[in-house]
Amino acid sequence: MDALSRDPMKTVKPPMSFGKRKRNKIDKKGNPINWVSTHRYHHQFVDTEQDPHTPIHGFWFGYIIWILEEKDGSIAGMNRKHRKLDNASDLEKQIFYRFIRKTYLLHPIALAIILYVIGGFPFFIWGTCVRTVMLLHSTFMVNSFCHMWGNQPWKTNDFSANNW
């Protein structure tokens, strides 16, 4: 979904892109519209108060606490006073992404049922639970580790670093 946050009109080419977005949806990264909006805010305000998952409020905030949403739909890490998930109107216009957003919870539930039917409890555990935990932790690590530790061979206006 990272490509969607950059320039969706150039990178989104049906039907291939729909398969990739569907996979990301099943991987529990959230619906593409909200994910892209959050990602765009991150790149617009990287490592500032407006960055949705900035580690400047500490490791755990950048790792997972940021994901908590306020009742009004704003992200807890977005300074609570401003910023909603409103900068992905280009995706809001596409029926596929609106469909994914509206049916968000059905997709992982359907996958879990299919995996259980095919291979029983082990398929369900490994294909749903373990995979989801590993994916979320790898995503959260990028949000925190890669903005707190590592070398920064190029001078940038943020804390992003290379960790390899």
Report pLDDT for 111: 95
pLDDT, tens only, 12-61: 555 545 455 444 444 445 788 888 888 888 888 888 888 888 888 888 88
Q: Which residue has the tokens 């892109």?
A: 17
Stated pTM of the model: 0.69
